[in-house]
Amino acid sequence: MLGFSPATVSLVLNRSSNSDSIPQRTKDLITATAKKFNYRPNLLARSLRTHCTSTIGVIVPEVSEGYTATVLSGIEDYLLQEGYFFFVTSHRHRAELIEEYPKTFLDRGVDGVIAVDTLWNQKLPVPVVTVSGHNQVAGVTNIVVNHKRASHLALAHLVELGHRKIAFIKGQDFSSDTAIRWRSNLEAAAQLGIRVSSKLTVQLDEDSPSPQVGYKVTKRLLSSKEPFTAIFAFNDVSAIGAIRALLEAGLRVPQDVSVVGFDDIQSAAFQRPGLTTIRQPLRKMGQTAAEVVLRRIRFPSEKNPVREIVVEPELIVRESTCATHSRALIAEAKLSVSHA
């Protein structure tokens, strides 16, 4: 009807990146005509011909504000740009679902799988990329943050501010990052001369993405009566809950207790006080995972795919940390001497 080749129509209707050279007027004409005649490509027929569904399966623990949502936004950004569709399913840390969902993805003909914050031990006949998976599985590429660097950045910041009595909030046992991050915290603390006390260590124990879990363990920390001047939380969500518990106890943040989070979720900068945190480039990690899985789909002959891609964290200093009272007095005294 329009006189264009099937290839041109296909590129436009599939929003292919190869359609960039096609004039916008041509694109608009093709789109309008397809809409007028209710023409839609038959995806099932195309997948049978190409053996490709242009669909990715994404498995996550849960979908909420914070870590998972930000990683998903990065995955979505890249797949949308490349004309790929994706399914998302959450397993809520149930072992039987972690085992079953990948098989369900295969039944639906996905071309690849991305697993986020999920302990992974399966070998599938399609490319698999994990984000913070940590398990070494043949053929699986894992995207991880440099936890050693992250722990050192956070604790060195607190030490520089004069903090020595630092409380720690560990992650839940089921989180794939908990074990490696705790080891990194212990190593960094030893390097910086910080004593990690069991009395100042609490662990998140509820399967919930709410700040309530951080709030509860901080209340438990306060009830021990063990003095501390700073908290390094497992993530931003638990740090936000910790701040609420501290304020309710009549403590000021950061004047009485400094708080450091982890992740740098979108709301971290808009808390009161703004949350000092370790920025984990979550969106970038999602984009990288999507990029890697599509590259492996498009070039299946590549042997020995890279097993691990490490991204670097960044310390973001806001208003939830400051110098200890003693450090502030020393700085004030030095300033007075210099003025004299």
Q: Using one digit for the tens of pLDDT, what is the confidence trace for 272-318? A: 999 999 999 999 999 999 999 999 998 887 777 888 999 999 999 99
CB-CB contact of 171 with 235 (8 Å)? yes
CA dihedral 72, 78, 82, 86 (to 10 degrees): -10
pTM of the model: 0.81
At 311, is the secondary structure helix, strand, or coil? strand
In degrees to the nearest 10, what's the CA dihedral of 17, 283, 91, 66?
Answer: -140
Mean pLDDT value across residues 134-158 = 93
Q: Are 288 and 79 in contact (CB under 8 A)?
A: no
pLDDT over threshold 50, residue 336: no
- Range with lowest mean pLDDT among 30-39, 139-148, 211-220, 244-253: 30-39
Strand order in the sheet with 258-263: 201-203, 166-170, 230-232, 258-263, 276-279, 314-316
Residue 215, token pair as written in the block: 């709030």
Give the three-class secondary structure for 301.
coil
Positive or negative: CA dihedral 173, 286, 213, 87: negative
Residue 227 has pLDDT above 70, yes or no: yes
167, β-bridge pairs = 231
Task: Please enumerate in sequence order all residues whose Cβ is within 8 A of that of 149, keeping only pairs 6 or more positions apart, or say none.
Answer: 312, 313
Give the confidence band of 44 by pLDDT, cuts at 50, 70, 90: low
- Helix/strand/coil percent split, the chain, to 5: 45, 15, 40
Q: pLDDT tens, 1-28? A: 889 998 898 888 877 777 888 999 999 9
Cβ contact 232:169 at 8 Å: yes
What structural domains and CATH numbers belong to the chain?
6-41 (no CATH), 52-143+282-310 (3.40.50.2300), 147-281+315-334 (3.40.50.2300)
Single out the residue of 114, 118, 170, 134 nearest to residue 296, CA to CA: 114
Find tokens 């940390």 and name the residue: 321
